[in-house]
Amino acid sequence: MGKRGKLRKAIHKRELEQETALVICVGKRCCDREESQALVEAMREYSGEIHAHTRVVTTGCLGICKKGPIAASYPTMKFKKHVTRKRGRKMIDKLEGR
């Protein structure tokens, strides 16, 4: 199963097919778990303050290991490697149409 299939499966599992989401990989091989967890918390805070319609969810490995943190936008299915807080904010802004 490819990265898009894994993303669809993660979204389906959480019943988020009808929502806009930023999905962040918190797998063990991407990067330090602390780094990806810090990104998740920062993006949830940003999304809660600015963008009420975009959910920030976590998932296991998306199959793009060693290039993390990895984030994907749903439903556009755009994947980004080496995501920083700034890059994550830009992804959320694009999902919201800003």
d(CA 53, CA 31): 28
Residue 67 forms part of a structural domain: yes
Residue 14 forms part of a structural domain: no
User: Domain of 53: which CATH number?
Assistant: 3.40.30.10
Is this model's pTM higher than 0.85 or not? yes
Q: What is the pLDDT of residues 62-94, one digit of tens each?
A: 777 778 888 999 999 999 999 999 999 999 999
**Domain tally, the chain:** 1
The predicted structure's pLDDT at residue 33: 81
Q: What is the pLDDT of residues 19-69, one digit of tens each?
A: 999 999 888 777 778 888 999 999 999 998 876 788 999 988 877 777 888
Residue 26 forms part of a structural domain: yes
Which structural domain range is residue 55 located in?
3-9+19-96
Residue 48 forms part of a structural domain: yes
Residue 54 forms part of a structural domain: yes
Amino acid at 7: L
Write the CB contacts of 54 (distance below 8 Å, at least 6 apart in sequence): 20, 21, 22, 47, 92, 95, 96
Residue 98 has pLDDT above 70, yes or no: no
